């Protein structure tokens, strides 16, 4: 089992990141391709796998969140290749940022099988996502793994390629009819749990699940861009110990995933508006009273981006900054694009993509006891910090952050 540690709160982030063994599989999965699995065995192995997971992690009883997860999963699952699957969502008491799905279902009174799956999400994941769009992206990815029989396909591939003769012998039980050996199912369930928890799927299976998730989301009111921003933020956190990635330490898997997801979105004409789905702060206008004088400030979160000196044009200058800044934020402004340049009024501007965000004048410098250039550089640093803070997970409701002011 491979662990990948990230800088942020030493959280173990494993969703879709652990590489597993690269075993080439045929691309372009179709629903007809994997109907060989005995659905009754899916039920049996799923029960055992659930028991193992829930013995390791306590379940969190949060009705409001569970209802939200169920509604989201039901909406997305109807658009998958296996709309007949009944999904159950459960929350695990764990700070790990993770989600995984395992086979499930139930045997009906008439002996037929109701196909099912359990999707587990951790408390850490629920805190990490920035919006319902990102959460839907993660859930859609897990639905795709279930719809494509990925846990069973991976188990089958392991049994064919590994030297574990017991695993190879037992894997046939998933296809054969008749009663399964209880000890054999216990062993297989353990293997399945490890694959699901660490996302030890092949690169091909992960790509199929990503693209399947994007297709499903495109038919809902959730933006497919949420999956992209989620993976981009994982990538941005960085790996503290590359040696732990083994033979894949030089394999930019997250980068590759974000690239083909971006290409898919562009090809389908889906606007990549990261701030809309990631729930970032917008610039707002605040008024500060200094004696009898009202001073205007432009803020993003807790960062003061622009603070012109009091005067007749102070309010208009702040409003101009507010408008320009929010337009750039809406179009995914990055901190590296922001530059400090001199202006024609012997002051300094903050500029990005040819747009003047704000202007400091000599009168601003005289009021604050600093040069206009110093003030502009401070604004640049504050803006970079605000953008960086928006890239990190938090517990604030995204709906409280996602309303721009003009």
Q: What is the pLDDT of residues 193-251, one digit of tens each?
A: 776 666 667 788 889 999 999 999 999 999 999 999 998 887 776 543 333 443 334 44
d(C-alpha 78, C-alpha 348), whole Å: 55
Query: Would the pLDDT of 10 be above 60?
Result: no
> Is residue 357 very low, low, confident or very high in pLDDT (cuts 50, 70, 90)?
very high
Strand partners, 118: 88, 102
Mean pLDDT of the 146-163 span:
73
> Is residue 192 very low, low, confident or very high in pLDDT (cuts 50, 70, 90)?
low
Domain spans in the chain, listed from the N-terminal domain onward: 8-277, 280-400
Query: Would the pLDDT of 395 be above 50?
Result: no
How would you classify the pairing of strands 113-122 and 283-290? unpaired
Give the pLDDT confidence score for residue 186 in this predicted structure: 58
Contact 87, 73 (CB under 8 A): yes
Cβ neighbours around 246 below 10 Å, total: 10
How would you classify the pairing of strands 86-92 and 113-122? parallel
How would you classify the pairing of strands 348-352 and 293-300? unpaired
d(C-alpha 227, C-alpha 109), whole Å: 39
User: What percentage of the chain has pLDDT greater than the value 70?
Assistant: 72
Cβ neighbours around 194 below 10 Å, total: 14
User: Which of 19-23, 178-182, 213-217, 380-384 shows the lowest per-residue confidence on average (mean pLDDT)?
Assistant: 19-23
Mean pLDDT of the 45-74 span:
93
Query: Would the pLDDT of 20 be above 50?
Result: no
Contact 213, 137 (CB under 8 A): yes
Give the pLDDT confidence score for residue 134 in this predicted structure: 95
d(C-alpha 304, C-alpha 298), whole Å: 6
User: Which of 155-169, 313-327, 328-342 shows the lowest per-residue confidence on average (mean pLDDT)?
Assistant: 155-169
Reduced DSSP (H G I as helix, E B as strand, rest coil) percent helix, strand, coil of the chain, to 5: 50, 15, 35
User: Which of 301-310, 311-320, 373-382, 384-393 shows the lowest per-residue confidence on average (mean pLDDT)?
Assistant: 384-393
Cβ neighbours around 282 below 10 Å, total: 19
Residues 6 or more apart whose CB falls under 8 angstroms from that of 56 comprise: none
Give the pLDDT confidence score for residue 4 in this predicted structure: 33
**Which tokens belong to 177?**
């009819």
Give the pLDDT confidence score for residue 161 in this predicted structure: 57
């Amino acid at each position: 089992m491979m662990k990948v540690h990230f800088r942020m709160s030493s959280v173990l982030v494993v969703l879709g990141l652990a590489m597993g063994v690269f075993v080439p599989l045929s691309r372009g999965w179709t629903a007809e391709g994997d109907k060989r699995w005995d659905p009754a065995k899916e039920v049996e192995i799923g029960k055992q796998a659930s028991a193992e997971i829930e013995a390791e992690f306590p379940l969190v009883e949060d009705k409001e969140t569970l209802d939200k997860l169920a509604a989201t999963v039901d909406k997305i699952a109807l658009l998958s290749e296996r709309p007949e699957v009944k999904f159950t969502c459960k929350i695990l008491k764990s700070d790990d940022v993770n989600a995984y799905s395992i086979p499930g279902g139930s045997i009906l009174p008439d002996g037929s099988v109701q196909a099912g799956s359990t999707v587990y999400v951790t408390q850490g994941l629920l805190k990490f996502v920035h919006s319902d769009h990102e959460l839907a992206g993660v859930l859609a990815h897990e639905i795709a793994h279930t719809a494509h029989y990925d846990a069973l396909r991976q188990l089958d591939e392991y049994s064919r390629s590994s030297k574990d003769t017991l695993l190879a012998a037992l894997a046939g039980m998933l296809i054969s009819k008749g009663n399964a050996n209880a000890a054999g199912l216990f062993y297989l369930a353990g293997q399945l749990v490890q694959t699901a928890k660490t996302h030890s799927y092949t690169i091909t299976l992960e790509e199929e699940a990503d693209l399947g998730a994007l297709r499903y989301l495109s038919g809902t009111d959730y933006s497919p861009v949420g999956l992209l921003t989620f993976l981009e933020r994982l990538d941005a956190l960085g790996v503290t110990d590359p040696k732990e990635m083994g033979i894949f330490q030089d394999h930019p898997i997250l980068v590759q995933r974000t690239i083909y997801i971006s290409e898919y979105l562009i090809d389908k004409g889906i606007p990549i508006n990261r701030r809309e789905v990631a729930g970032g702060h917008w610039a707002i206008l605040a008024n500060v009273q200094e004696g009898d004088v009202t001073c205007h400030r432009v803020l993003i979160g807790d960062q003061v981006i622009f603070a012109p000196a009091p005067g007749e044009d102070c309010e208009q200058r702040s409003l101009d900054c507010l408008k320009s800044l929010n337009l750039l934020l809406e179009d995914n402004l990055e901190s590296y694009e922001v530059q400090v340049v001199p202006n024609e009024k012997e002051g300094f501007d903050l500029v990005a993509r040819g747009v003047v965000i704000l202007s400091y004048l000599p009168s601003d410098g005289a009021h604050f006891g600093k040069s206009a250039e110093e003030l502009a550089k401070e604004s640049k640093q504050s803006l970079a910090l605000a953008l960086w803070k928006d890239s990190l997970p938090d517990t604030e409701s995204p709906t409280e952050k996602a309303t721009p002011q003009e």
